[in-house]
Amino acid sequence: MTDGPPTDRKDRKTFVPPASVGGGSLMIAWQLKNKTVLIVGGGEVASQRIESILGTDARMIVLCPQKGLHQRTKDLVEHYPERITYYDRRFTGPAELHKIDLVLTAVDDPQRSRDIVELCRQAKIPVNAADIPDLCDFFFGSQIRDGPLQVIVSTNGNGPRLSNLIRKKLEAGLSGYEGEAIKKIGQLRAQLKERAPGIGGVIGRKRMQWMTKLCNSWEMVDFTQLNDSMIQNLLDEGWEKDRVPTIEALGGKPTSMPSTVSSTHSATPSSIVPWTVGLVTGVVVSFAYMKYRWHA
């Protein structure tokens, strides 16, 4: 007998390679809650890094001589003392990396950045060096933020300005209801899991299929209308009966969507079509729904 699967089976499907292999970054929603981020520098770029990290639940340590602080950095340090610890000095050496989870350098001296990056490599700490792409473990992209919805456009360090322009085009295609809709879906999923608990298996697949039908049948604005009583009614009349009632049937305002859907096959929802149109080749877009997910 030989190891491994047979290679001469007539019913073997033709291998379909991935659309892209290599040359890109892994786009992930990195949870920084209770992590500590070290920011070396205090200029304008550092202030932008601080604002990005404030959008997470991480703690920050900022190292920069007072004379090098940008006014925006000063304001952020002053207004968020519970999140930002500031030290009026430069980076001094390896000891600065003790209990640090992430490092961001934003200094004008490329050699200083390289020295810090090397120390981070030795300590196995992910690091980003502003304006030096070849030193970065990760990149900052141009971001759309609407509550739990995060959309990031990255050019992988090739053209930050272009990513900003593309982000604006994508943002113009959103309805404005996405963030609130995702919050309500998160509440619905939590209550659905209480009613039908279990990870994976038959129940998990059934939850996923039902949530998929619901998301494909309703408009974004429909989800924003949900309240506690409507969610319970939706679970009673929808989940328990394996169907998708309309928002009107639950007491919501009427929309242009078709009536109840019971088939497991659904068309692509019209509300997300603008999200998928006009993307520029080579630009990676990551929809990070944080703890809220569209699938069960």
Catalytically annotated residues: 131
Q: Could you give the CA distance from residue 288 to residue 147 in angstroms, rounded to a whole number?
A: 11
Closest by CA position to 145, among listed 170, 121, 126: 170
Give the distance from CA 60 to its chain's centroid: 20
Contacts of 92 (CB under 8 A, 6+ apart): none
Residue labelled with tokens 């892994």: 26
Q: Could you give the CA distance from residue 107 to residue 109 in angstroms, rounded to a whole number?
A: 6
Q: Could you give the CA distance from residue 179 to residue 3 in angstroms, rounded to a whole number?
A: 50
Q: Could you give the CA distance from residue 36 to residue 121 in angstroms, rounded to a whole number?
A: 17
* Cβ–Cβ under 8 Å, residues 81 and 114: no
> Which DSSP category does 268 fall into?
P
Contacts of 221 (CB under 8 A, 6+ apart): 175, 177, 181, 255
Q: What is the dihedral of CA 261, 264, 265, 266, to 10 degrees?
A: 40
Residue 197 corresponds to which amino acid?
Answer: P
Q: Which is it for the CA torsion 39, 41, 46, 47, positive or negative?
A: positive
> Which DSSP category does 244 fall into?
B
Residue 283 corresponds to which amino acid?
Answer: V
- The H-or-E segment that residue 49 falls in is helix 44-54
